């Protein structure tokens, strides 16, 4: 059983004992050729996974106890978006976006509504064909060798498309099998992921009956089942309650500590600032800033920087006419 954090400053670095789920996630995320990392999974860690969900709910302070993202050591480039452009008829949704994701990094993509975040991430994962430009993951072109590329990528798409008439447990199992896992391995991983995401008690429920947040969690679990090296997550925190958001943050931190890499979009500057080491700001389809969070925000908060960049393209318009309604 996990040791639960106390509701004081001492829970900023909790030291949970590892449980079966944690071990399973460790095994799943283990990059080939680095067996020593598995042994390290027994060390006390600044992470909590789903097994303590219920008991932790009353005591966790969402989004506070995370280690400094800016100190994160990142490695080689694992995904590169090269001159990506997408046109929908007359609309140029994305214009020549260049981005790199490095191993062990969490890259946050931010931008106002309609900026082109989903379009960019959809092109990155092979869901949407670029008008021009290309995407490589571990040196494999996503559009030229889709099967090979998809072995490396786990995707949480914007609009959840899933086999929702399956139970949660079936969905994870079949996703694992489709992704090439042996049946027994798929079964084990499905059980582990249900625990990691705190969905054990909903294992036999039909996914169509899940709430928006639960549906997001099961989709995220599905994205992890084949232990991809790169996770591409479109708004993973949308519709997630603060406690689950905190747990999800820790899961993502666990993934990158184990050698994975994450690119995610979010509207929460606070969250991006806390868990991402790098950030990219897209406005009106163009990449206006990218780099470490500190580089991008400069001497203001990320939110202020974001507002400056986003408002630079927007016309001021008042609602003076609305006064009439209140007279
Ligand atoms: N299938 C499509 N057909 C036509 N236009 C599209 C299509 N998909 C996206 N667009 C347009 O491309 C632009 C970028 O949309 P996108 O969904 O990538 O923005 P976003 O940054 O993800 O927005 P949000 O934060 O609101 O989710 C918008 O102008 C949108 O209307």
**CA separation (Å) from 242 to 41, 107, 319?**
26, 21, 33
Spatial distance between the Cα atoms of 74 and 260, rounded to a whole number of angstroms: 10
Its ipTM equals 0.98
Ligand 1 binding pocket (C-beta < 6 A) is 88, 91, 93, 111, 113-119
Q: What is the mean pLDDT of residues 303-308?
A: 90
Burial of 61 by CB count in 10 Å (0-12 exposed, 13-18 middle, 19+ buried)? middle
What angle in degrees, to the nearest 10, is found between the helix axes of 168-178 and 212-224? 30
pLDDT tens profile 83-109: 999 999 999 999 999 999 999 999 999
Is pTM beyond 0.90? Reply is no
Which CATH class for the 14-28+45-63+76-160+229-312 domain?
A: alpha beta
pLDDT at 188: 95
Q: Tell me which residue of 80, 26, 15 sits closest to 257, measured CA to CA.
A: 26
Q: Whose CA is nearest to atom 28 of ligand 1?
A: 114
Contact by Cβ (8 Å): 269, 301: yes
Nearest CA to ligand 1 atom 14: 116
Provide the residue ranges of all domains of the chain, joining segments of one domain with +: 14-28+45-63+76-160+229-312
36: Cα separation from own chain's centroid: 25
Q: What is the mean pLDDT of residues 244-257?
A: 89
For β-strands 230-234 and 261-265, DSSP reports them as parallel
Nearest Cα residue to atom 7 of ligand 1 = 88
In sequence order, the β-bridge partners of residue 91 are 88
In this model, does residue 134 exceed pLDDT 70? yes
282 CA closest ligand 1 atom index: 21
Q: What is the largest CA-CA distance in the chain?
A: 72
Looking at ligand 1, which atom is closest to the CA of residue 285? 14
DSSP one-letter string for 178-229: HTT--HHHHHHHHHHHHHHTT-GGGTTSBGGGS-HHHHHHHHHHHHHTT--S
């Amino acid at each position: 059983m996990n040791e639960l954090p106390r509701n004081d400053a001492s829970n900023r670095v909790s030291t949970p004992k590892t449980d079966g789920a944690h071990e399973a996630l460790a095994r799943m995320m283990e990059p080939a050729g680095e067996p020593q990392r598995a042994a390290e999974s027994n060390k006390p860690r600044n992470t909590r996974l789903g097994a303590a969900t219920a008991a932790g709910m009353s005591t966790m302070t969402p989004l506070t106890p995370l280690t400094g993202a800016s100190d994160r050591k990142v490695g080689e480039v694992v995904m590169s978006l090269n001159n990506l452009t997408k046109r929908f008829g007359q609309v140029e949704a994305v214009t020549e976006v260049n981005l790199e994701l490095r191993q062990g990094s969490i890259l946050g993509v931010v931008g106002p509504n309609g900026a082109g975040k989903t379009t960019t991430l959809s092109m990155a994962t092979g869901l949407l064909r670029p008008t021009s430009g290309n995407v490589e993951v571990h040196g494999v072109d996503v559009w030229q060798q889709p099967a090979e590329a998809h072995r490396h990528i786990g995707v949480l798409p914007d609009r959840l498309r899933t086999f929702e008439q399956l139970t949660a447990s079936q969905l994870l199992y079949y996703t694992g099998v489709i992704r090439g896992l042996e049946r027994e391995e798929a079964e084990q991983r499905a059980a582990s992921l249900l625990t990691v995401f705190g969905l054990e008690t909903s294992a036999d429920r039909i996914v169509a009956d899940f709430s928006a947040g639960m549906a997001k969690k099961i989709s995220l679990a599905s994205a992890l089942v084949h232990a991809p090296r790169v996770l591409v997550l479109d708004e993973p925190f949308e519709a997630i309650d603060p406690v689950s958001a905190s747990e999800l943050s820790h899961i993502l931190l666990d993934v990158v500590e184990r050698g994975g890499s994450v690119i995610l979009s979010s509207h929460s500057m606070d969250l991006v600032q806390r868990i991402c080491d790098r950030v990219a700001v897209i406005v009106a389809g163009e990449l206006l800033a990218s780099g470490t969070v500190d580089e991008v925000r400069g001497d203001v908060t990320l939110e202020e920087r974001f507002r400056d960049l986003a408002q630079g393209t927007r016309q001021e318009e008042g609602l003076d006419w609305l006064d009439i309604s209140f007279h």
